[in-house]
Chains A and B, each alone.
Chain A
């Protein structure tokens, strides 16, 4: 008997391992021409795991104070064995994770995987994406460099525009009126304790719901399967799909390694709160569409502050986005009703892409 079998039997005898893992063994993944979109969720999860691992390693040396943060990151990058690699992978992986999370979300939208009974899977996924943006925003400040400092200043100012609670929110985020060492301490706390805690719970629910409801089949494929039942194909999740997923993970790992080695993440100059803001300051690319929109809104819309309107609009859009599955009425639907959510998705994708490019090109 092999060592693996001995351990498996030992666990089975005590915890009912075979029963516990039965859903995994019985789980099936539909196979069709759009199956490759199913890999995106797994790649996002893989990148999240990399974030957790590299983040823990960075914690060994990082010091969350205005006097030491930049120096500690410089120390990690230049003195710690493979510190440059860990930091670079952490930064690149964060960006790739945002990219795959967005791609995963839009693939779910266009494949209509959010439909009944998977509404809550969508809601938890949307919440996880917002949480990932929170990770990005809080993590961006931690190296305490000039760009991060001023981007945080601008970002928290936007948060300060929220009606009624804006001022309170700004003070809460900054730990005072201005971006200081207190802000760094708070962002560090959010980044390594508060957000990971919430993310773990949400991710657990999300994965549980995926496991509970299985993998969705797009309506068009469903129709094909209905018309030609003999064309219905499925693949076992374990090991067949998981092995394919591993191929995707290895490719993601290779891309990450190449990015980290060929273009290590820069540190920039240490933040100087008394220096003027550098010209053309911009947030991370996944906030750029919002940033550019706020820049384009006139300072006054009728009698309301333009920025307040922008912040409210994005808040409402985020809420609407999260509740998108509930807008779809049960069958039967008219042709227009079926196209409504896809239309919203196409518009959102086009808007985000074009405003991101515009924001990137704009001075």
Chain B
């Protein structure tokens, strides 16, 4: 087990006996402190002398270890593995050497430091120290406690001997890499045999709008596996609580859904909130075809022809499509006018309001209240109609200008002919 003193790694044994033999220990620690180099520099270690020349899992080079955040903070091999790295008898049991750490021991080993708030504060005061407590609530933690060593422990996600902070893009737990890290086990159907995991989650997530936002748009706040499942306390959200997970980002939609008739209906049918319509891992960019009675519509999963919900869904779909068409028409005519050199910046700015109304209507949709949706759609249509009229006016103005140009050019032509004739006449004289 690791222990620590003033940032200098030592063994827990010292701390335990330290209470009883404090003066002696203080002298010893002072001697150790004087003997050791600066805390930030990795301590001299004999371990790497041998391990850098080994093969396979036992091979650890100095360069590799120097990349590890622990090495950078001054921790040594002995901090986890025990022993005395400064001595040629480093691996003597008498020196506290533990050697290979059993998988089931790893969470507790890491937590020796990471669950100690006062110790961690000196390195990173904002780092949480409840990882072990959370881990114990996770599916991984529970199964490990039950003796299943196939489940993920700290090193499976964070790595070992080359652990980087999560903010480092090369870290396995950086938001951009989390899904790939989870998929190493969860997309391996052979490995996941015997667990209630399909193995297609990573593939489904990779085609989702969330994955696109994260990897294509580079939005690091976009959800990855740990955003919805938790990281150290990873577990699938339950049917009753999935809506709470989604609402951490989609707050308005969740509030509206709570007031909708679907809230109670879903609960009584045992259907989870958001995922019933949007699915879970393969959440695609929603569009208006999801609503209504068409082949892509999710409403028909529950509603059938003739019932009130079916009619309302069709009505809502028509309204959204109507506003979308009106905006499209306005865009087309304004673009035509703009390409003709007409100044339609004001109308284009106003049309952006109509698009905002459409977005708002799509959010209001989660209330499943046709009257509320109609309010937004109506406001949007009014704006779109006004901008369309501005486009028409601009095109009329363009035609008027061209007519004016035609008349002017004819007048100029007449003047040119007149001048030519006049020059001819005065020069003939």
Residues of A within 8 A of B (CB): 74, 77-78, 84-85, 239-240, 243-244, 246-247, 250-251, 253-254, 257-258, 261-264, 266-267
Contacts and interface: CB of A to CB of B under 8 A. Distances in A.
Given A247-B419, A250-B416, A267 B343 contact: yes
B342 interface: yes
Interface of B: 341-343, 345-346, 401-402, 404-405, 408-409, 412-413, 415-416, 419-420, 422-423, 426-427
B409 A257 contact: yes
A243 B409 CA distance: 19
B343 A84 contact: yes
B343 A253 contact: no
Contacts of A78: 343, 346
Contacts of A244: 423
A329 B404 CA distance: 55
B166 to A, nearest CB: 30
Contacts of B426: 239-240, 243
B398 to A, nearest CB: 9
B345 A267 contact: yes
Nearest to A254: B412
A74 B412 contact: no
B97 to A, nearest CB: 58
Given A240-B427, A247-B420, A262-B402, A254 B341 contact: no
B341 A264 contact: yes
Contacts of A85: 401
Nearest to A76: B343
B343 A264 contact: yes
10 closest Cβ pairs, A-B complex: A261-B405, A264-B341, A254-B412, A261-B401, A77-B343, A243-B423, A250-B412, A78-B343, A257-B408, A263-B341
A72 to B, nearest CB: 13
A267 to B, nearest CB: 6
Q: Which of A74, A246, A261, A267 has the most CB of B within 10 A?
A: A261
A246 B346 contact: no
Q: Which of A74, A78, A240, A251 has the most CB of B within 10 A?
A: A78
Contacts of A250: 412, 415-416, 419
Contacts of A246: 419
Contacts of A77: 343
Contacts of A84: 343, 401
Contacts of A247: 416, 419-420
A85 B401 CA distance: 9
A187 to B, nearest CB: 23
Nearest to B413: A254
Contacts of B405: 257-258, 261-262
A261 B341 CA distance: 8
Contacts of B427: 240
A93 to B, nearest CB: 15
B274 to A, nearest CB: 37
Q: Which of B341, B343, B412, B413 has the most CB of A within 10 A?
A: B343
B412 to A, nearest CB: 5
